[in-house]
Structures are given as C-alpha cells and as structure tokens.
C-alpha cells in the first residue's frame, strides 16, 4: 500500500482556518437541506480523498500546480490553495469560488502569504 498524502489545515495565530470554516459552513447548510452545499461538500471530500491517495498523480482535474510552491485542489467551481510541507504533508491554505479561467493573482498572493506565515511559525520542517 503506497504511503498516503497527509492534508492539514493552515490556522492563523488565533486558530482560525478559512478552509475549515468553509467546510463547517457547507456542512451546516447541507444539514439544512441545501442541495448546492451538499454537492460542493461531496465534490470537496472526493477531491481531497483522491489527493490523499495519489497526490499530484491524481491528475489536473483534481490538483494543479499554480506556482513553484502553490497548488490548487479543484472541486467543481471551488478552489482550495495548498502547498507541500515536509515530504508527503500538504497544508490547505485558503479557498475561493472560481469565477474566471485564470486563478486571480490576489488569491495566489494570499496563499503565498499564508504559506510564508506557516513556515515562519512552524519552522522549515
């Protein structure tokens, strides 16, 4: 059995994770019967699971390299920015709803800023 890729959530100094908060919101809306939220959640969990199994080999429909260090998970119209840290560990940084063909530069800059913060606080690994 190949080693799985680990996913962990970026949290700021206060323990807040944008990705966790988004998942919590989708789960809450799903429980209230919102079909769109349930679909988004299923897509997200499926893409996360595929990434944990196959990493970058999952294919571009699941994960895509955006910069040297930043990747995006691609569940439906949503994007979850992440970076590799300590071998097969990846950190989920931020998320957004895709509205155009290109990843917005502001989202890339935000992901890079969060990555630098993570590395600064956690050490190089």
pLDDT digits (tens, 9 = 90+) for 3-52: 699 999 999 999 999 999 999 999 999 999 999 999 999 999 999 999 99
Q: Which CATH superfamily is domain 6-122 in?
A: RelE-like (3.30.2310.20)
Higher pLDDT, 2 or 102: 102
Helices and strands (DSSP H and E) totals, the chain: 3, 5
Confidence of residue 60 (pLDDT cuts 50, 70, 90): very high
Cβ-contact 57, 65 below 8 angstroms: no
- C-alpha dihedral (25, 29, 31, 34), degrees to nearest 10: -150
**pTM of the predicted model as reported, rounded to 2 decimal places:** 0.93
> How many whole angstroms separate alpha carbon 10 and alpha carbon 28?
21
């Amino acid at each position: 059995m190949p080693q799985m890729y680990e996913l962990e959530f970026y949290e700021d100094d206060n323990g807040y994770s944008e990705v966790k908060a988004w998942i919590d919101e989708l789960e809450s809306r799903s429980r209230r019967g919102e079909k769109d939220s349930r679909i988004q959640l299923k897509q997200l969990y499926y893409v996360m699971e595929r990434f944990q199994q196959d990493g970058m080999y999952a294919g571009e429909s699941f994960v895509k390299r955006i910069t040297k260090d930043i990747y995006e998970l691609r569940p439906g119209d949503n994007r979850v920015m992440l970076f590799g840290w300590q071998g097969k560990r990846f950190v989920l940084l931020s998320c957004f709803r895709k509205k155009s063909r290109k990843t917005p530069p502001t989202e890339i800059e935000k992901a890079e800023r969060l990555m630098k913060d993570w590395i600064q606080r956690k050490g190089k690994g």
